[in-house]
Chains A and B, each alone.
Chain A
Amino acid sequence: MLMQEKRYTEDHEWIELSQDGKTGTIGVSVYAAKSLGDVVFVELPALDLEVTAGDSMGAVESVKSASDILTPVSGKIIEANNVLQEKPGTINKSPEGDGWIARIEVKDGGEVDKLMSMDAYAKFTAE
């Protein structure tokens, strides 16, 4: 599937829209995965869950802390990455690839445009 450019939130989630812009894949950034330390548990969102941008849709747990995963956009959860139930460490190995968390049916594509580009996010995390 062809994807559009990845976008980032200030809370260190990313979203990548499909070419048609109707669905998006959500995960946490490399920066976030590093600062979390070894992930030992991932709370995945339930299917068909309706969420508004900024809502907690799950959580990532390490020895140090529990961190909410906030959805970057509004919509309906259509798939969760069940690999993370058995292998939560996938988030550390590949946070922006195999360690994706969920897929969402996007309600308003305009919300994605407000998020940071990869360059803007790199600057944001360097500050």
Chain B
Amino acid sequence: MVPFGGYSMPVQYADLGVGESHKWTREKASLFDVGHMVQHRLSGPGAAPLLETITPSSTASLPIDHSTLSCLLNPANGGIVDDTVITRLGPELFYLVTNAACKANDIAYLEEQIESRDTSHGTVEWEILNDWGLIALQGPLSADVLQQALVTAGVEDVDLKALYFGQCKHVKLSLSPQQSSDPDTPVLISRGGYTGEDGFEISIPPALTVLFTTHLLESGGRERLRLAGLGARDSLRLEAGMCLYGHDLDDNTTPVEAGLSWIVHKDRRASGGFHGDETILRQLRPAKDGGSAPKHRRVGLIVEGAPAREGAEIIDPASPNSVEVVGRVTSGCPSPTLGKNIAMGYIRAPLHKAGSQIEVLVRGKRRKAEVVKMPFVKSQYWKETTGTAPS
């Protein structure tokens, strides 16, 4: 158990080590308790305009029951205050999940942003879903496990094959209602996650959290479904090329520098109107149109020999006799899937280009490394056009 975001959380469970739990998730299904993460609801006529000010996302092009990765932006410099997933639940209702480690900072930020907003857009109601559960079911068997658990929870009319990556659905369970004080409150099932595998994140009202999670574990059975902790969560997200806030992202780093330009929605690139738009849009514009590319960017690395971890210096191999630091590793581990050492870090342009040969200093030794495209392991999302999950 380790302290994490104000909670005491398991790195691994007793039955599987980190590497084993990692492989289990890629082959079967794992359940992660991510109830430490902070769930918010923003509603009212001012909610969409607020989100268009504090994030680079386009609420206008986010349909109801769809989610998008986004970030809260630092008004001073376009840095990332936190990364978040925004889900639209109604014309004027949004659901956000933010990081536990950023909770106090995010609350102060949102309070200030809501108070200082342009009130001509109308009111914003903001609620933190304290005591709500959040679990992540991840891995190729997730859909089968969840479908079966829903059927045995009295849900006959939900077909998960029709719920694609990035979509969500409210589902009302019939789980021993006498044990529950709010049996009519639905759970919210979102297809996606933090491992690169097919899977679901399920937001559960307080009275149903333990009941439904236990039901899911029993229904899945130990042959298919195991609990997984922070250790596997970290190595899985790294293989998927996904960022961990406070390590790979911070409030001095823009989405462009972080290799997340795609979260700056194309509809927002002409108009701007979000925090840090001047900096961010200048970094996106070609030089001939007055733009200036960022001086450093987040990249993926494959490191020979020793694994490179957070803090390791990236050095220029062109200076074999002196240490010319050109970047820094922000996370890294041996990849259980690839059997190679993977890492991500920030590196000076133009060395950020895939194929660049660089070196990483690990315990004083220079190790050869190459800049590679991410994800390191191909994602297996359930998409309308490419869905290949077993029937």
Residues in chain A within 8 A of chain B (CB atoms)? 37-38, 40-41, 43, 56, 59, 61-64, 66
B19:A61 contact, CB within 8 angstroms: no
CB nearest neighbor in B for A37: B17
- CB of B309 within 8 A of chain A? yes
Q: How far is the CA of A64 from the CA of B309 in the complex (A)?
A: 11
Residue of A37, A38, A61, A62 near B306 (CB, 8 A) is: A61
| Other A-B pairs, 16, CB within 8 Å; known A38-B20, A56-B363, A64-B11 | A37-B17, A37-B18, A40-B307, A40-B334, A41-B341, A43-B306, A43-B365, A62-B334, A63-B18, A63-B19, A63-B22, A63-B231, A63-B336, A64-B18, A64-B19, A66-B307
Measured between beta carbons, the chain B residues less than 8 angstroms from A38 are 17, 19-20
Interface of B is mostly: mixed
Interface of A is mostly: strand
- CB of B305 within 8 A of chain A? yes
A64:B307 contact, CB within 8 angstroms: no
B363:A63 contact, CB within 8 angstroms: no
Decide yes or no: A41 and B306 within 8 Å by CB, A59-B363, A63-B333, A63-B336 being known contacts: yes
22 CB < 8 A contacts A-B: A37-B12, A37-B17, A37-B18, A38-B17, A38-B19, A40-B334, A41-B307, A41-B341, A43-B362, A43-B365, A56-B363, A61-B306, A62-B18, A62-B19, A62-B334, A63-B231, A63-B333, A63-B334, A64-B11, A64-B17, A64-B18, A64-B19
CB nearest neighbor in A for B305: A41
- CB of B147 within 8 A of chain A? no
Q: Total interface residues on B, using CB and 8 Å?
A: 20
B359 to chain A: closest CB distance in Å?
16
- CB of B55 within 8 A of chain A? no
Q: How far is the CA of A66 from the CA of B363 in the complex (A)?
A: 11
Residues in chain B within 8 A of chain A (CB atoms)? 11-12, 17-20, 22, 231, 235, 305-307, 309, 333-334, 336, 341, 362-363, 365
A38 to chain B: closest CB distance in Å?
5
Measured between beta carbons, the chain B residues less than 8 angstroms from A43 are 306, 362-363, 365
Measured between beta carbons, the chain A residues less than 8 angstroms from B17 are 37-38, 64
B389 to chain A: closest CB distance in Å?
27
Q: How far is the CA of A31 from the CA of B363 in the complex (A)?
A: 25
Measured between beta carbons, the chain B residues less than 8 angstroms from A59 are 306, 363
Measured between beta carbons, the chain A residues less than 8 angstroms from B306 are 41, 43, 59, 61
A104 to chain B: closest CB distance in Å?
19
A35 to chain B: closest CB distance in Å?
10
A47 to chain B: closest CB distance in Å?
15
CB nearest neighbor in A for B232: A63
